Chains A and B, each alone.
Chain A
Amino acid sequence: MRPPAIAHSVDRRTFLKASVSAAGALLVTIPLPPRSLSAATRAAEASTWCVYLTLHPDNTAELMSPVMEMGQFMRTTGPMILADEMDLDWSLLTITWDEPVLMRKNGKGELDSRYGQVSAGGSQSVRNNWDYMRQAGATVRRMLVEEAAARWRMSPDSLIAQDSFVIDPAGDRRISYGELAAKAARRRVRPEQIKLKQRSEYRIMGKDAVSADIRDIVMGRPLFGIDEEYPNALQAVIERAPALHADIASYNREAVLAMPGVRHVIEMPRKIEDHWPGGDAQVLAAGIAVVADSLWAAMQGRKALQARWKNGTSDDSAQQIQEFRRLVAGDGVANKLIDRGDVDAAFATADLVLDQTYEKPLFAHACMEPFNCIADIRSDSATVITGHQVPHWVAREVENITGIDGLKVTVVSKRMGGGFGRRGDLDYVREAVTLSYRIKQPVKVTWTREDDIQRDFFDAAAVMRVRAALKNKRIVGWQHRQAQTRGRPEASEYFPANVVSNYRVEQFASTSNIPCGPWRAPTILQWAFATESMLDELAHAAGEDPLAFRLQWLQPYREYPIENWAAKTIHSGRMAACYEAAARLADWGRPRPKGTGLGIAGQFTFGSYAACVLEVSVSEDNELKLLHAWGAIDCGFAINPNHIRSQMEGGFVDGLNAALFNDARVSEGRVVNDNFGSLRWIRLREAPLSIEVAIIDSGYGPTGVGEPPLPPAGAALANAIFAACGKRVRRMPIADSFRI
């Protein structure tokens, strides 16, 4: 790791802290004020963000990428921003691995990452790091240019920087960054001399780059937490109560302790606490940990436990869906989340009212890499190695469990084999920390796939009844009435809000023990499924083309202010442009053969806009085939088009999987389909043959692409099926209604 020698007091007149390493390399740390804080807090927190960049004499560079990686490509995107602003030669840059996450405590004593937002979630990483990375890059570039200018006794403004060299265009000479670095480190740069590039000057951003880690991945290098070894670590697996809230009744303790390699058998307490999206939930199941010399021995011990359990809940997901159906169909009073204009009057004077109910089951996360965590708890320090979306929460958890100061906890956050929101939970971390604390030895906890699906925090199941009123082919009223396992619809401030002025969203409270949590674009796929299916049904009812109907509906194209944690405005014209671009790629107007149809759907998610057109065929004997897809996204400035396309492809396929197959079922308080044998998951032969993507340049600043591609998929599929065969599907999992 780089030495974390950060100055805590910042000279407000200079941005930069630089030092020279023993090898003569320049180490730059750039504290910048965090984004989106009040001026007062800004001053107090001014030293909270840094970039660790090392420039070596041979002109190679190393960067410690500050943002967690789970396949959303921030280890490539973040460095591209910095490298472009500092005119670094991209091919000379190495991005380092396994750096401990640097942390600090704020004025209230709360742990946070020391460098701005290194955590990943909510499609916010690019936005959180965009300004910092550019400022950092521009600052280093200026230092190097000033050093070259001093050497040549010229004005810095007559020099240019390019591909890791400072160039004197008049004198036809150049010096490498590596040569300049050590001396440049002593320079202080004034803020007013730092100039960010114009977009037209970008040389790295805006062009396709491949993943920084591609070679390591295709060679099978051990990049993930599950691959990690730790000196003297014991291996633990945990048999957990299958039913929610159940306690241990009995198990074969002595027999397991006598097995070869088994060292400890330890009971793990159940834990219930408030959990997103609200309400008490079981965050740790009661369990029995088998701790052994090897993972294999621990797994054998676990099998021999023959644990029995008692007092589990009787939660049943199918019954809950029936209850939700009953609630939304009845005229019981629901909680009004939003009620704008005069919805009742709009319905009373409408030409046509459609009233339809849409459903989705619980979605499991099933991150490809099962959870795992290494904890080494010492007397007053600790090390935790794991893949986690929010590493400072890991340190906070060690502090909570052991009392060790969080700043004495080294957290190494590994590449994650998928996160999807689930790796923001702490259960697997708590288990490892608790065990190591207890047995005073390093422990690695490894989960199985069954452990993962049984103990998931699901995306809520929901039943949504949508009533929409048409007058003169315009939508004049919209009511969304729903019940869901936990939480609320996250997208209720997005369209149709604002575009339809008489707009109501209401929800019935549910009492369920089934734990829910953030799941890639939480609850937004369901929102798009209900909204975009209804838009389609309205278009057909009005005798309009579904694309033309949407474009007309979003008029006039304008920006609306919204209240949402992830976005302050939403623009109907940017949404419309996505529909149009996706439709253009799909050649929307071209008639398709009988049995084949196109469906369109779009959704705004956390600041970005995405729309998709999907082509499917449905045969006479009900066989469904997904043929081709075309997508368009407006995520503002496209830093790396290659990875935006990749996220569009993968996110759309993930959404199709959710709509077709993802269906975690709970009966007698336990998940009954807990592995890929019983929980079906999309495979290559079921995915579209091709997905073509248009990236729309709307001139806005960059926003995220991890979640936005997913939500339109379910509705695009349902709408395509209708176009292909005239059958309207309003219930997920859609694979239940077809052969696929």
Chain B
Amino acid sequence: MTIEFTLNREPVAASNDKADMPLLWFLREDLRLKGTKFACGIGQCGACTVLANGNPVRSCVMRLADTQGMAITTIEGLARDERQLHPVQQAWIEVDVPQCGYCQSGQILSAVALLERTPNPTDADIDAAMTNICRCGTYVRIRKAVKAAALRSKATRL
């Protein structure tokens, strides 16, 4: 038996003896995809956020076995190509959100998931969805960038 899922639109298989390994460590150590970050390991901070079937999950507390059949997206797979960044990434650049940058992969993916569900989020929607810790305190810019991304996405849809 193997664990099979798609990662950034490519199929991935892992042997079953890794069933209990958190997805975070499989990504970082086995696949050497370092964009997903470790910061607490207990599902509290969101630095390790990835998208599982479009939903934000904390990969440090997701067993590899539980990814069976899922579509996982990490920060590396968000932009379809180098020149065409995702609107959320573009908004992050426009607002110049990051300071140290360590939490930002997780913040960006959380914002992507929020905007998929709620294309025009209110402040209350942003409060509820953006629960990741930023140690540098970039929250004011995160809020601005989520709104800027909503505008960009709307412009693309029109």
Interface on A for B, CB 8 Å cutoff?
Answer: 70-73, 210-211, 213-215, 217-224, 226-227, 229, 294-296, 366-370, 415-419, 448-449, 642, 646-647, 649-654, 656-657, 675-677, 681-685, 687-691
Nearest 10 interchain pairs by C-beta: A220-B35, A653-B137, A71-B100, A417-B102, A220-B75, A71-B99, A227-B34, A685-B127, A676-B44, A222-B34
A-B contact pairs, 7 of them (CB 8 A): A220-B34, A226-B34, A366-B135, A368-B134, A418-B135, A676-B44, A684-B131
The minimal Cβ–Cβ distance linking B30 to chain A, given in whole angstroms, is 8
The residues of A that contact B65 with a CB separation of less than 8 Å are none
Q: Assuming the A-B contacts A294-B29, A653-B137, are A218 and B93 also in contact, with contact meaning beta carbons closer than 8 angstroms in the complex?
A: yes
B window 74-106: CB within 8 A of A:
74-76, 78-79, 85, 89, 92-93, 96, 98-105
Determine which of A227, A417, A691 lies in contact with B100 in the assembled complex, contact meaning CB atoms within 8 Å: A417
B137–A222 touching, CB < 8 Å = no
- B51 contacts the other chain (CB 8 A): no
Determine which of A220, A369, A682, A691 lies in contact with B74 in the assembled complex, contact meaning CB atoms within 8 Å: A220
B35–A222 touching, CB < 8 Å = yes
The minimal Cβ–Cβ distance linking A682 to chain B, given in whole angstroms, is 7
A71–B136 touching, CB < 8 Å = yes
Interface centre among B42, B45, B103, B137 (most CB of A within 10 A): B137
The residues of B that contact A682 with a CB separation of less than 8 Å are 133, 137, 139
- B130 contacts the other chain (CB 8 A): yes
> How many angstroms between the C-alpha atoms of A12 and B37 in the bound complex?
50
B75–A685 touching, CB < 8 Å = no
> How many angstroms between the C-alpha atoms of A417 and B105 in the bound complex?
12
The minimal Cβ–Cβ distance linking B62 to chain A, given in whole angstroms, is 15
A211–B98 touching, CB < 8 Å = yes
B100–A70 touching, CB < 8 Å = yes
The residues of A that contact B3 with a CB separation of less than 8 Å are none
The residues of A that contact B141 with a CB separation of less than 8 Å are 646, 649
The minimal Cβ–Cβ distance linking B86 to chain A, given in whole angstroms, is 9
The minimal Cβ–Cβ distance linking A625 to chain B, given in whole angstroms, is 11
Determine which of B38, B74, B105, B136 lies in contact with A226 in the assembled complex, contact meaning CB atoms within 8 Å: B38
> How many angstroms between the C-alpha atoms of A676 and B105 in the bound complex?
19
> How many angstroms between the C-alpha atoms of A130 and B144 in the bound complex?
32
> How many angstroms between the C-alpha atoms of A681 and B45 in the bound complex?
9
> How many angstroms between the C-alpha atoms of A416 and B100 in the bound complex?
7
A683–B133 touching, CB < 8 Å = yes
Determine which of B92, B96, B132 lies in contact with A646 in the assembled complex, contact meaning CB atoms within 8 Å: B96
The residues of B that contact A656 with a CB separation of less than 8 Å are 137
A369–B131 touching, CB < 8 Å = no
Interface centre among A73, A219, A370, A684 (most CB of B within 10 A): A684
Determine which of A294, A368, A642, A650 lies in contact with B102 in the assembled complex, contact meaning CB atoms within 8 Å: A368
> How many angstroms between the C-alpha atoms of A226 and B39 in the bound complex?
10
> How many angstroms between the C-alpha atoms of A70 and B136 in the bound complex?
10
The minimal Cβ–Cβ distance linking A454 to chain B, given in whole angstroms, is 14
> How many angstroms between the C-alpha atoms of A369 and B39 in the bound complex?
6
- B128 contacts the other chain (CB 8 A): yes
Q: Assuming the A-B contacts A368-B136, A683-B133, A684-B142, are A218 and B100 also in contact, with contact meaning beta carbons closer than 8 angstroms in the complex?
A: no
B29–A652 touching, CB < 8 Å = no
The minimal Cβ–Cβ distance linking A436 to chain B, given in whole angstroms, is 20
- B152 contacts the other chain (CB 8 A): no
The residues of A that contact B139 with a CB separation of less than 8 Å are 653, 682-684, 687
> How many angstroms between the C-alpha atoms of A474 and B34 in the bound complex?
59
The residues of A that contact B21 with a CB separation of less than 8 Å are 296
A642–B140 touching, CB < 8 Å = no
> How many angstroms between the C-alpha atoms of A676 and B134 in the bound complex?
12
- B25 contacts the other chain (CB 8 A): yes
The minimal Cβ–Cβ distance linking A630 to chain B, given in whole angstroms, is 12
A418–B102 touching, CB < 8 Å = yes
> How many angstroms between the C-alpha atoms of A44 and B108 in the bound complex?
51
The residues of A that contact B96 with a CB separation of less than 8 Å are 210-211, 214, 642, 646
The residues of A that contact B68 with a CB separation of less than 8 Å are none
B41–A646 touching, CB < 8 Å = no
Determine which of B42, B89, B108, B132 lies in contact with A675 in the assembled complex, contact meaning CB atoms within 8 Å: B42
The residues of A that contact B137 with a CB separation of less than 8 Å are 649-654, 656-657, 682, 687
B101–A684 touching, CB < 8 Å = no
> How many angstroms between the C-alpha atoms of A211 and B36 in the bound complex?
21
The residues of B that contact A688 with a CB separation of less than 8 Å are 140
> How many angstroms between the C-alpha atoms of A307 and B31 in the bound complex?
32
- B126 contacts the other chain (CB 8 A): yes
Given contact pairs A71-B100, A219-B85, A368-B133, enumerate 10 new A-B contacts (beta carbons under 8 Å).
A211-B98, A220-B36, A222-B35, A227-B34, A368-B102, A368-B134, A368-B135, A415-B100, A675-B40, A687-B137
- B153 contacts the other chain (CB 8 A): no
A229–B32 touching, CB < 8 Å = yes
The residues of B that contact A227 with a CB separation of less than 8 Å are 34
The residues of A that contact B93 with a CB separation of less than 8 Å are 210, 214-215, 218
A687–B140 touching, CB < 8 Å = yes
Q: Which single residue of chain A is at the shortest CB-CB distance from B133? A: A681
> How many angstroms between the C-alpha atoms of A351 and B131 in the bound complex?
51
Q: Which single residue of chain B is at the shortest CB-CB distance from A227? A: B34
The residues of A that contact B6 with a CB separation of less than 8 Å are none
Q: Assuming the A-B contacts A218-B92, A222-B34, A689-B123, are A676 and B40 also in contact, with contact meaning beta carbons closer than 8 angstroms in the complex?
A: yes
The minimal Cβ–Cβ distance linking A35 to chain B, given in whole angstroms, is 27
